[in-house]
Structure 1
Amino acid sequence: MSKLTTQLKQQLTNNPTRPIMQDAEKHWYNGSELNEERETWLQYFQNQGIGYNDVVLVALNNSVTYSLVVQTLWEIGAIVHPINPAVTDIQLNEFEEQYNYSAMILNSDIEEPDTLATTFEKRPKLTTLHEPEVELYIRRIHEAHVAKVPFDNQFAIIMHTSGTTGKPKRVGLTHEQLFANSNNIIESEDLTDFDRTMIVMPLFHVNAMVISNLATRLSDGQLIFRPKFSAHLFWKEVFDEQLTWVSLTPAIIEILLQRDEQPKSNKLRFLRTASAPLLPSTHEEFRYRFDIPLIESYGMTEAASQIAQNPLHAPKQNSVGIPFGTDVRILNNDLKELGPDQVGEIALKGPSVIDHYLDPQPETFSDGYLLTGDLGKIDDDGYLFIVGRRKEMIIRGGENVNPLAVEDCLKVLPFIKEIAVVGTSDKIYGEAVTAVIITNDDQTDHRYQLALLKNQANNQLMPAERPTEYIFGQSLPKNATGKVQRTLLAKEIEEKQYIKEA
């Protein structure tokens, strides 16, 4: 077996009576119960002829079953393709044409997709543990593959990048890459068997799959599964379940700040945040309100999640921390390495970093390094700072404008619930700096708010940074982890789907 599957199995066999995973009904399962469940799935897949190199779609809500199904598929050499369980029939058909799945595992409450009727056969529901039932679809015409022990360098999972600046890319991650980054996370967070976390982000996202799920399991910690994040229950569950850490996103941090609840826990060591930039003003407000260590980190699907994280005992404000197990360089436009505190493109290489996409993208690699498209700098102490995205930088009249800096400046105004700044077309200056604001009130007359925005921009921002257009909207387009899809937002503005105030 691969090192990954070996240790996942050992976690269950070495803890026969210890509670390891808790389901949504707050029922704990010990290693013996989970191992029995694992054996059931293992036998089922082998009986269905699912085996080495078969690609299996998994579209489930977060659950104990999810973690065990993925582990079992890896043990027989299959490749997991986790996707959003809210997938549409059209999207499912597109995925099927691309991957030619051997099997699909879907939520039981999903309406049977029409596209599966002629290609797949629904099998009887396999109910185990106390978890909700799931639907199993097996390809009608399928060449049975024998289960084989997976190698470390075999693909374990296929994931899609978030696609905030373009079409999502397909990323194949090996057992070895998942194992390497899981151990980077364990080291950087000092995870032990005393730790307990709750998964609140979707498991089809690399953050939840690797940082919360795999790192906890490989460190013999305890896992609590919830179908999704609940703002009004979060602090209560942190206290009731005696959580020691939780991985969140900036979107969740913002939601927690909008509520009146205060945490009450003597077990919580830290919260960590990743998956999108955390505005400095948001971090400062969180630290002031809750007095809980909020550890910023940096990761991406192409690196099997974590790239850098702030040391727990020596974090730097506004930094995403120090690289763990990954060689990080800052390159200029000529792909030459820059020195400390110089801004350039972040490039990566290491045991957990891919060296190619499943869809060829040779321009994103140079001398063995992955060119991330992120802009950043490294200080003299080795801490990494994210400046923005190369494709998201706004060029107005030849000057570069960082949308994150503009957002952070304006967000201090109390009526702003959410804000996103993007570049839109301008015939004279090339791009306009456009700010889309979601307010926390129901006002329809925004003249006073608009005056406050302009005053703040004039006092705090350079002329090129000041928004030339303000839009008051109802919502921002986001992906499943709450990251604003800036390219889509700019497109919607260009298509006149938003009404400009100025």
Structure 2
Amino acid sequence: MSELTERLQQQLIAGASRPLMQDENQHWYTGSELNLEENVWKNYWQNKGIGHNDIVLVGLTNSVTYSLAIQSLWEVGAIVQPINPETTETQLNELEAQYNYSAIILNSNIKDLDVLNKIFTIQPRLSTLQEPEVQIYLRNKHIHHPVEVPNDDELALIMHTSGTTGRPKRVGLTHHQLLKSAFNVIDSEELTAQDSTFILMPMFHINALVISNLATRLSHGQLLFRPKFSAHLFWKEVSSQMVTWVSLTPAIVSILLQRDEQPANNNLRFLRTASAPLLPSIHQEFNRRFDIPLIESYGMTEAAGQITQNPLERPLSKSVGKSFGIKIKILDSNQNKLAIGQTGEIALQGENIISHYLDSQPEAFDNGWLLTGDLGSLDDNGYLHITGRSKEMIIRGGENVNPLAVENCLIDLKFIREIAVIGTPDLIYGETVTAVIVPKKLSHDHRHQLALLNKLANEQLLPVERPTKYIFSTQLPKNATGKIQRTLLAHEVNQQQLKEA
């Protein structure tokens, strides 16, 4: 048995009489009830011949069932691949045709899918909890694989990267990598059995799955599952449920700032933000409004979650903090190590860092170091400062423009709800700086807004950084964690410009 699965079992046994998990209806389950449910799942897989190295696709909303189902699959030696429960039938068809899954678990409200009915047999819905049952599909003529207790170095999880800079890559994470990453979170956040957290971000992303779910379970804390973030319920439930910490995204922080609510009976030790850059102006506004530490961090799927986090007692503004259990170095374009304070590509090495992708990507590694594609620098005290993604940098006339710096300047204008700065093709300069803006109020006349944008840009930005084009929109393309998909946005803008040409 891997140390990960053994410790997850121990958590349920040790908390037999204690409420450990809460469902969306605020019903608590004790460790004894959860252990019984997890064994139901494990016996189910054994009876159906799902075992060693079987890959099971999981497309569920956040739930107690989700956490227990993946634990049961790991215990029989299977590999879990989480996907967005909103995945379309066409997307499911493409995944299945490429990877031939042994089983698929979906929400019970999913209607019959032609692609699945041809290849899989629908099984009776399964769950003994008060949560909605889930629908299971087993592959026809599946060769039964024996249950084989996994070791630490076997694959436990397959996830796709967000794909904001290109085609998503498959990341394979072992039991040990997941365990090591979870313990890094426990150490950095000083988690104990007295802590409790909401899981609001989607479980098919590494943040919720490892940083919230696994780290809390391995520290014997309490988990409160919610299908999604609710702006009007957040502070009420934080107060009523005595939650001690929550992992959020900058998009959620921005939404909270747009509302008037304040937490009552606040038991929060801190809020944690990750999955996308947090603009300094947003951070400053949050600190002004709320007496709650907002801790910046940095992570990625390839690191099984967390890479750095600001120390709780010594957070540093405009930094994503220090590494916990991971080696970091900054490289120039020739993969030479740069000195303290110099900006270059961030490279990683550690027990929770992958050494290869499941689909070969040798250019992403250098002598055992993962090349992240992110740009940043380390200061004298080991704090990491991120300046952007190397593939998102705008190159205008041979000069690099950091889109985050432009966004952070312009977001101060009160009429802006959201902003994304991208590079679009320019015949003379290669790329031009384009700002796509979602205003708080829709208008057909943007002359006043454009005047304010140009005035601020001229006052605070270098000439090369100043946008030469402003586009007003009703929304920005994002992934499930609220991260703006700049590559997709740039493609959409370019296609629209071609139509208008």
**TM-score of the superposed pair, with normalisation by structure 1:** 0.99
Answer whether contact 1:473 1:498 (CA < 8 A) is retained: no
Q: Distance in 1 between matches of 2:44 and 2:325?
A: 37
Answer whether contact 2:65 2:127 (CA < 8 A) is retained: no
Q: Distance in 2 between matches of 1:127 and 1:42?
A: 12
Specify the alignment match of 2:257 in structure 1: 257
1:25-424 counterparts in 2 under 5 A? 25-424=25-424
2:374 counterpart SS class: strand
**Do residues 17 (structure 1) and 17 (structure 2) align?**
yes
1:252 counterpart SS class: helix
Q: For 1:50-96, what per-residue CA distance to the aligned partner results, in whole angstroms no more than 9, with x for missing partners? A: 00000000000100000000000000000000000001001001111
Answer whether contact 1:297 1:309 (CA < 8 A) is retained: yes
2:153 counterpart SS class: coil
Q: For 1:392-420, what per-residue CA distance to the aligned partner results, in whole angstroms no more than 9, with x for missing partners? A: 10111111100000000000000000000
Report the Cα offset of residue 379 of structure 1. Answer: 0.3
**Do residues 474 (structure 1) and 479 (structure 2) align?**
no
2:143 counterpart SS class: coil
Q: Distance in 2 between matches of 1:273 and 1:127?
A: 33
1:131 counterpart SS class: coil
Q: For 1:227-260, what per-residue CA distance to the aligned partner results, in whole angstroms no more than 9, with x for missing partners? A: 0110110011100100000000011111111111
Change (3 A) 1:465 1:258: same
Q: Distance in 2 between matches of 1:199 and 1:159?
A: 19
Q: Distance in 2 between matches of 1:370 and 1:265?
A: 44
Report the Cα offset of residue 497 of structure 1. Answer: 6.6
Moved more, 440-449 or 298-307: 440-449
Moved more, 50-59 or 257-266: 257-266
Q: Distance in 1 between matches of 2:320 and 2:369?
A: 20
Answer whether contact 2:211 2:306 (CA < 8 A) is retained: yes
Q: Distance in 2 between matches of 1:329 and 1:386?
A: 13
**Moved >6 Å (runs of 4+):** 497-500
- Letter of the structure 1 residue corresponding to residue 346 of structure 2: I
Q: Distance in 2 between matches of 1:450 and 1:24?
A: 44
1:400 counterpart SS class: strand
Answer whether contact 1:11 1:217 (CA < 8 A) is retained: yes
- Letter of the structure 2 residue corresponding to residue 7 of structure 1: R
Report the Cα offset of residue 136 of structure 1. Answer: 0.7
Answer whether contact 1:299 1:305 (CA < 8 A) is retained: yes
Report the Cα offset of residue 266 of structure 1. Answer: 3.2
- Letter of the structure 2 residue corresponding to residue 415 of structure 1: F
> Alignment length, in residue pairs?
500
Answer whether contact 1:492 1:498 (CA < 8 A) is retained: no
Q: For 1:396-452, what per-residue CA distance to the aligned partner results, in whole angstroms no more than 9, with x for missing partners? A: 111110000000000000000000000000000110000000000122211100100
- Letter of the structure 2 residue corresponding to residue 491 of structure 1: H
Answer whether contact 2:238 2:266 (CA < 8 A) is retained: no
1:421-500 counterparts in 2 under 5 A? 421-496=421-496
Query: Identity of counterpart residues, as a percentage?
Result: 65
Q: Distance in 2 between matches of 1:43 and 1:429?
A: 63
- Letter of the structure 2 residue corresponding to residue 246 of structure 1: V
- Letter of the structure 2 residue corresponding to residue 165 of structure 1: T
- Letter of the structure 2 residue corresponding to residue 136 of structure 1: I
Q: Distance in 2 between matches of 1:453 and 1:193?
A: 49
Q: For 1:368-394, what per-residue CA distance to the aligned partner results, in whole angstroms no more than 9, with x for missing partners? A: 000000000000010000000001101
Q: Distance in 2 between matches of 1:83 and 1:356?
A: 21
Give the CA RMSD over aligned residues: 1.0
**Any gaps of 5 or more consecutive residues in structure 2?**
none
**TM-score of the superposed pair, with normalisation by structure 2:** 0.99
Report the Cα offset of residue 265 of structure 1. Answer: 3.3
